[in-house]
Amino acid sequence: MKLIVAEKPDQGRTLASVFKMKKRDGFIEILPNEIFPKGAYVSWAIGHLTELSAPEQYNPAWKKWSLDTLPIIPENFKYEVVKSKAKQFQIIKKLATDQQVTEIIHAGDAGREGELIIRNILRLANCMKPMKRLWISSLTPKAIKEGFQNLLNEADTKNLYFEAYTRACADWVVGMNASRLYTLLLQKKGYSDVFSVGRVQTPTLALIVKRELEIENFVSEPFWEVLAKFNINGKKYSGKWEKDGDSRIKTKEMAEKIAAFCDGKNAEAAEVISEKKEFLPPLFYNLSAIQAEANRRFKMSPKKTLDVLQGLYQRGIVSYPRSDSRYVTPGEAEGFPSILNKLQANPDYQQLFPLPNSSIKNNKRYVNEKKVTDHYAIIPTEQVPNLNRLSGDELKLYDLLARTLIAAHYGPYIAEYTTIKTVVEGRAEFISKGKVQLDEGWKKVLPQKDSDKEPELPAVQQGETGTVLKSEVKESKTQPPKRLTEGQLITLMKTAGKHIEDKELEKVLMKAEGLGTEATRAGIITMLKDRAYIEVRKNLVYATAKAKILVTAVGGQVLASPEMTAKWEQRLHQIGEGEASPKQFIEQTSKMIKHLVSETSEGSSGWTFSDELTNAFVPGKKGGRSRRTTSLGKCKKCDGMVVDKGTFYGCSNYQKTKCNFTLSKQILGKTVTQKNIKKLLAEESTDVIEGFQSKDRTFNAKLYWDGEDSKLKFDIAAQPVNQGG
């Protein structure tokens, strides 16, 4: 008899569902069949059933957070059973030691983490029985049966276990030591909070803070553009003045001179360039790509996207979601006609058939075995569901995957892009851009938000002449870098190699797919939220004062740079390939941490933080207690006190009386500090705050509370900032 150990309960039940079975407490008994003549047991973990032991399990003195005990580096790492999951562990252990069980089938997710989860359970259960590995990319009945008939040998995936184990131990060393180190040193500076530090989360946070500071430090400058409307031989269109490819003019006076010069003058279409462009259908999705797309289209968080896909996978509806590949094998492509036939039967997709291309089996854009890693791209399986039975989020993601598969069988989207250079009086040059769709192609299947705003231009011939009907000056201002969305943050993590100057390391990190893995990026973002390093408001990512304080303290240390991740990923990959030593890797990590502890402890005396940052800092929860609140002054609406609520300032009486007095922390691009809120509440107005950014200008102002209108208002300072000219 065989024991099959899956990673999750749903997964275990799905694996067993293709056979006749009996449900038991914590496991399922598969009755004898062709594949298992003597029957089998199926049990499951509940994700991670085991965890690395806490520091005090190695040495009681390590329980207390103290600089004197750092660095904490165990001689040998120990795993233990998670207390809340002990019952399920005992069920697996009992089955594994059952004399009837002669072989174990490892059926964890087919990847590094799955390898680690199941092997650790069996190791703690002292199970030494022969083992085989189930390695499949979808949970359809067909895939499950084929997988059990083609099991891998235990040795085939053992190096992946060594890689995952080494990664976990090294991350423990970095996290335990660096988190304690920076927490204790920053507490000495007056920042009472826990500052979590990690190999992936900290360089990710550094990238977010870098963008945040670019936005905060951006100084907007005005510029002017000249727009003109032409009548060329009876054909009308508009254009924008340009010189050497730049349309921006630094002074209003110069812009007005150009506009006045052009008004009513003769014009010639000096150059007309038309170019036909083809855009191929999009590639299939890997996890990062669909997380970014779902966030862009549906404002769905990366974690939500992964959770929904995982649910669809466990029901056999889509393939393995944690894939890093955007290609499929020829074997998978052979199944596409069957899937497409089932999709065609659905009223939502009927109008998209028949397909322009009946097969893409030989199309290397999609079917490329060399580019398939452990898993192929995320695609619908042959188990096509009744769409009415999917939840709203499930339907959105399934529809996206189904349409992407259909779109791959369509031709390219083709458009003609035209650029007209119009010259006024032989001197002033204007550029007009437009496009005409020639063939809708795959966009019939996957409608896109068209970012090309070019209008359709008339059929103007080069050399035709006419006049300027009207010219006008348009005032604008330079814009700060755009704030990241959660989906863009996933992409930024994946492409973090672009931020490395060392070209060799850049190649390594790009090969290693950036910061984190397909499976962990959503979790890292969730962790940064939970630890109050970032806030996500209306799908936009904001770095908190806590994040800026930590990144300032870490400074140029390797902990904040993608370079360290590049080196780690390179060596870990080599361990997974059996080409590098886990022991040596841990030794090098320990050496790095020893150096970090001594260097950071000495250098911390030189850390400096601005008053604005200190005032904006809000301590988080400590030891399970609620967030510490500091009263900033008396509420303007009741007898309560105004306190810092994290993302805004509000009345302490809200829970009791529902007093809705609130003050925003961010006003027209500026952070309003606790210091200014105290001044506002005590003295009726703040100090002058520089750099408020309205639609048309940047200005200085005090903030004051207007009691009659119950409103916060601006007291505009005498001199506006950056009016230019």
Q: What is the pLDDT of residues 577-610, one digit of tens each?
A: 899 999 999 999 999 999 999 999 999 999 999 8
pLDDT digits (tens, 9 = 90+) for 682-703: 888 888 888 887 777 778 889 9
377 vs 379: CA distance, rounded Å: 6
Confidence of residue 39 (pLDDT cuts 50, 70, 90): very high
> 719 pLDDT exceeds 50?
no
Q: pLDDT at position 511, please?
A: 60
Q: What is the DSSP string of 540-576?
A: EEEE-HHHHHHHHHHTTSGGGSHHHHHHHHHHHHHHH
At residue 376, the 3 state secondary structure works out as coil
pTM: 0.83
Q: In the structure encoding, which two tokens stand for residue 608, read together?
A: 């400096």
Average pLDDT of the segment spanning 134-155: 94
> 203 pLDDT exceeds 60?
yes
Q: Please, where are the H alpha helices in 125-157?
A: 141-149
Q: Provide the annotated active-site residues.
A: 320
Note the residue count of the chain. Answer: 725
For the CA atoms of the chain, what is the radius of gyration? 31
620 vs 95: CA distance, rounded Å: 44
CA dihedral defined by 643, 644, 647, 651, rounded to 10 degrees? 0
Phi, psi of 716 (to 5 degrees): -65, 130
From residue 686, how far is each of 76, 635, 674 by CA, in Å? 57, 15, 10
460 vs 218: CA distance, rounded Å: 41
What are residue 540's DSSP bridge partners?
Answer: 485, 537
Instruction: Determine what percent of the chain falls in helix, strand and coil, rounding each to the nearest 5.
Output: 40, 20, 40
703 vs 718: CA distance, rounded Å: 14
State the pairing for strand pair 698-706/689-693.
antiparallel
Percent share of the chain, pLDDT over 70: 93
Cα 142 versus chain centre, distance: 33
| Residue carrying the six token digits 């301590």 | 619
State the pairing for strand pair 266-279/540-543.
unpaired
> 725 pLDDT exceeds 60?
no
Q: pLDDT at position 572, please?
A: 85
